[in-house]
Amino acid sequence: MKKAKIKAYAEFKKGTVDQRLYGSFLEHMGRVIYSGIYEPGHPLADEQGFRMDVIKAVKDLGITSVRYPGGNFVSCYEWEDGVGPKDTRPRRLELAWKAIESNQFGTNEYMEWLKKVNASPMLAVNLGTRGLKEAVNYLEYCNFPEGTKYSNLRILHGIKQPYGVKIWCLGNEMDGEWQVGHKTAAEYGRLALETAKAMKIADPDIELVSCGSSLNTMDTFPEWEAETLNYTYDYVDYISLHQYFAGQEKPVIEFLGQADEMDQYIKTVISVCDFVKAKKRSDKTLNISFDEWGVWAHDSNETVKECNAVKWQEAPAISEMIYTHQDALLFGGMLLALIKNADRVKMACQSLLTNVSATIMTEKGGGLWLQPNYYPFSQAARYAKGDVLNTVLECEYYEKGQKKIPYIDAVILENHAENEIILFAINRHPKETIELSANLYGFNIDKIIESSVMESDDRLATNQFDHNNIVPHDIDNCGITTDGILVELKPLSWNMVRIHLQ
């Protein structure tokens, strides 16, 4: 049996987890909204048309915040279309996904739905086809108490109390040539700067997110970050990162090892932020909002073909990816990358919540089922709280050229509120069980509370037909040692161990 070791020390902490790390993302794309979370007439819909089975699944998932309305969608969106009486809302051509948008779900419905799932809002403004004026008007509608044009309009729509939206994203993926209203770094930087200044005059308590590069493979990366932050650094609080990984045809260890690229992506952007901080002689540290992330299970060109095949339909089924066990392990590795960088990554949004690159799949008029990637997220959202510990990992590597991919990916946290240590570990080895020794120095271990594993003999297995095919289960694979614990990690497995302290 292969062996590995991870060391953690009570006095050495990486950072504290912000619970907004466990956010998700809603966009008017495919069936994310319509027949995803919102389906009037469904047997399980409430009086507002929200699917109650989805609400329960979202609450069980542990979602803390939700970004809306996009995504590419936001760059053509007129927020005024989605408020007020539904019978007066216009039907529009939706250019991002070549659909018809009914606007039956908008800001007011989003805010009501958030209450039901106990999550906080994260709104994006349109800096593609619109700009400063419309962004400030939207902010006024949502946050100003009363007595002005847009606050009174909100009250006329039956919402007396302001929503008090704290987090606002200044556009979406503006360096992407696919983006309607695509801009150069200088064009975006100038517009984002002036929009940020105006929005913070209107409401000084908000926090703003400046657009980073759409992916770390963009030709614009990382110069985009450096140039746009020259404009926005003093007026924003976060910079956004987006990342989707594919490559299911790769050897499994290389596929799973992409999570390490996400970790490096984060560190590179931190370096750029700190460079601009030094250049500006600033005392402010800029943090990261990783507000789109996930696994993409087919070629992006397929999504384009799907959109063309069903264009100008209302909420057509597109990009409804079925995730495998190995997809869920990569998803889990991406989640661990966020947790490891909790000192600077303060917000994140798994993309998307339902049906499109999703954790939750719904049937129109029918039931729902949970994809394998639902479970690493739900465990982390429930238990990965408190301080992330600095760790030293010793294990064997897979080598290809200059690239080294460790077979073990792991993170350890101390949850002070529950007086426990939590270990999350992924065994990326396709064949070998690995015995992991976790040395926990400075802690007095009482007992093992729980040890669970998500595993499969078939790395391409899904939950599509047998909805309980890939789920975590308790396992007796862990023991207490003099210095910590010893746990056996099965091949291609996601593992969680909870340890109570004396």
Active-site positions? 173, 292
* Beta bridge partners of residue 123, listed in sequence order: 68, 168
Q: Comparing C-alpha atoms, which of 109, 127, 226 is closest to residue 170?
A: 127
How far, CA to CA in Å, does 47 sit from each of 60, 188, 275, 363, 441?
22, 42, 52, 19, 54
**Beta-carbon-side half-sphere exposure of residue 337 (alpha carbons within 13 Å):** 26
Helices (H), ranges, 80-219: 107-117, 132-143, 149-156, 185-202
- The helix or strand, by DSSP H or E, that contains position 486, with its residue range, turns out to be strand 484-489
* Beta bridge partners of residue 412, listed in sequence order: 423
170 touches 233 (CB < 8 A): no
Three-state DSSP class for 79?
helix
Query: Would you list the DSSP string of 257-273?
Result: THHHHHHHHHHHHHHHH
372 touches 328 (CB < 8 A): yes
Q: What is the largest CA-CA distance in the chain?
A: 71
Three-state DSSP class for 485?
strand
Phi and psi, residue 174, nearest 5°:
-70, -10
393 touches 4 (CB < 8 A): yes
Q: In the chain, what is the straight-line distance between the N-terminal and C-terminal CA atoms, in Å?
A: 31
Three-state DSSP class for 141?
helix
Residues in Cβ contact with 330 at an 8 Å cutoff, skipping those fewer than 6 apart: 245, 255, 256, 258, 259, 295
Distance CA 344, CA 461 (A): 35
Peptide bond connecting 222 to the previous residue in cis, omega within 30 degrees of 0: yes
HEC secondary structure over 359-386:
CEEECCCCCEEECCCHHHHHHHHHHCCC
Q: Comparing C-alpha atoms, which of 392, 255, 266 is closest to residue 333?
A: 255
490 touches 441 (CB < 8 A): no
Cα 196 from chain centre: 23
